[in-house]
Amino acid sequence: MDVFLQQLINGLTLGSIYGLIAIGYTMVFGIIGMVNFAHGDVFMVSSFIALILFLLLTTWLGLSSIALALLIVLVLTMALTALWGWAIERVAYRPLRGSFRLAPLISAIGVSIFLSNFVQVAQGARNKPTPPMLNGGFTLLDQGGYAVTLSYKQCLIMAVTAVLLLGFWYLVQRTAFGRAQRACEQDRRMAALLGIDVDRTISLTFVLGAALAAVAGVLYLLYYGVVSFSDGFVPGVKAFTAAVLGGIGSLPGAVLGGLIIGLIETFWSAYFSIEYKDVAAFSILAIVLIFMPSGILGRAEVEKV
């Protein structure tokens, strides 16, 4: 029971991070129908940006309050990563709009290879650890020597995720941009006829996706305390799995899928084998796509002749 509870907490924490990345996949797929393969690497870049900003604030500028530093890091990282998302869309995807269907995917793979090697060249190939911060936590249950703890980090991760998702939900459901975004998702040409600036909406979608990936990047860095240039690929594929599992194009689906993937991964590691946890996640991707291609909350695709 206590092991189960501990794994539940760990799984939900991991799932929140996957969910945040998955939103970027699902929104981009919804609006232009492409798998933004580079999204996982954008997440990795944001993690590095956060690491460097954090070091700058604490060691160079001598900021002593960790909470304030984290807040500034979060905001700045979101802004800088959003710029990356915008630039990538502008350079690598926009010229290919309306082109041959494989071209954006290949371009995205190119961006992904570029980003991970760019970071490797710029920052070196070794793992980069952060100074330990926000240690400690609440002990929820302590019986028979096994304590179930909810660390402050995990609280923070889940709280930040929940708040941001609420804000994001409001943005998509209640604002003019959200309406434009959903309109473009349904029918890009019709939306353009009704006076929506489609290019701008797509750009903003990438910006938002990157900003959410940046939040995930900051939280990932906080949680694991270490990042390396190759950390983008596997979380990226898992987040994509989450987006597909929840039903691609559906925002609540992406978060739900993220939580499910996070839970499966932690429970698999705890009860079966830690070596095969990635195999489990990838197998779920394959199984879901084969038996339930529209996911849990997605709409079934209608085949038109």
Partner 1 sequence: MQASRTGRQDGAAALPDILRDAGIYALVALGLCVPIVSFRTELTQNSALDLVPRWAVVAGLCAAIFVLRVIQRLVLARRDARRALTPSAHQATEAVHGEPNAGQRASRLALPLFVGFALGLPLIAVLATGGLSQSRYWIDLGILILTYVMLGWGLNIVVGLAGLLDLGYVAFYAVGAYAYALLSTSFGLSFWVCLPLAGLFAALWGMLLGFPVLRLRGDYLAIVTLAFGEIIRLVLINWVDLTGGAAGISSIPRATFFGIPFTAGEDGFAARFGLSFDTMHRNVFLYYLILALALLTNAVTLRLRRLPIGRAWEALREDEIACRSLGINTTTTKLTAFALGAMFGGFAGSFFAVRQGFISPESFNFLESAIILAIVVLGGMGSQVGVAIAAIAMVGGPEMLRNLGFLRAVFGEGFDPNEYRLLLFGLAMVAMMVWRPRGLISVRVPSVALKERRAIAGSLVREGHG
Q: Which residues bind partner 1 (CB under 8 A)?
A: 29, 33-35, 45, 48-49, 51-53, 55-56, 59-60, 80, 83-84, 87, 91-92, 95-96, 99-107, 109-115, 117-124, 126, 128-131, 233, 237, 240-241, 244, 275-276, 278-279, 282-283, 285-286, 289-290, 293, 303, 305
Q: How far is the CB of 114 from partner 1 (least distance, A)?
A: 3
Q: Which residue, 1 or 60, has its beta carbon nearer to partner 1?
A: 60
Least Å from the CB of residue 159 to partner 1: 25
Tell me if residue 227 falls in helix, strand or coil.
strand
DSSP track, 114-173: HHHHHHHHHH-SS-EEPPP-S--EEEEEEETTEEEEEEHHHHHHHHHHHHHHHHHHHHHH
CA 155-140-149 angle, to 5 degrees, is 55
CB of 44 to partner 1, least distance (A): 11
Residue pair 182/172 in contact (Cβ under 8 Å)? The answer is yes
Quote the Cα angle for 299-300-305, to 5°: 130
Q: What's the closest the beta carbon of residue 102 comes to partner 1, in angstroms?
A: 6
For partner 1, give the closer residue by CB, 99 or 173.
Answer: 99
Nearer to partner 1, 122 or 166 (CB): 122
In whole angstroms, the minimum distance from the beta carbon of 122 to partner 1 comes to 5
For the purposes of burial, counting CB atoms within 10 Å of the CB of 47, is it exposed (0-12), middle (13-18) or buried (19 or more)?
Answer: buried
Q: How far is the CB of 82 from partner 1 (least distance, A)?
A: 10
34 and 105 Cβ atoms separated by less than 8 Å: yes
Strand runs labelled E in the chain: 128-129, 137-143, 146-151, 226-227
Please report the beta strands in 201-269, taking only residues with DSSP state E, as ranges in sequence order.
226-227
**Which residue number, 189 or 304, has a Cβ lying nearer to partner 1?**
304
- Using DSSP's 3-state secondary structure scheme, residue 226 falls into strand
Closer Cβ to partner 1, 5 or 103, answer by number: 103
**Nearer Cβ to partner 1, position 111 or 256?**
111
Whichever of 153 and 238 has its CB closer to partner 1, that residue is 238
d(CA 38, CA 34): 11
Q: Nearest approach, Cβ of 80 to partner 1 (angstroms)? A: 7
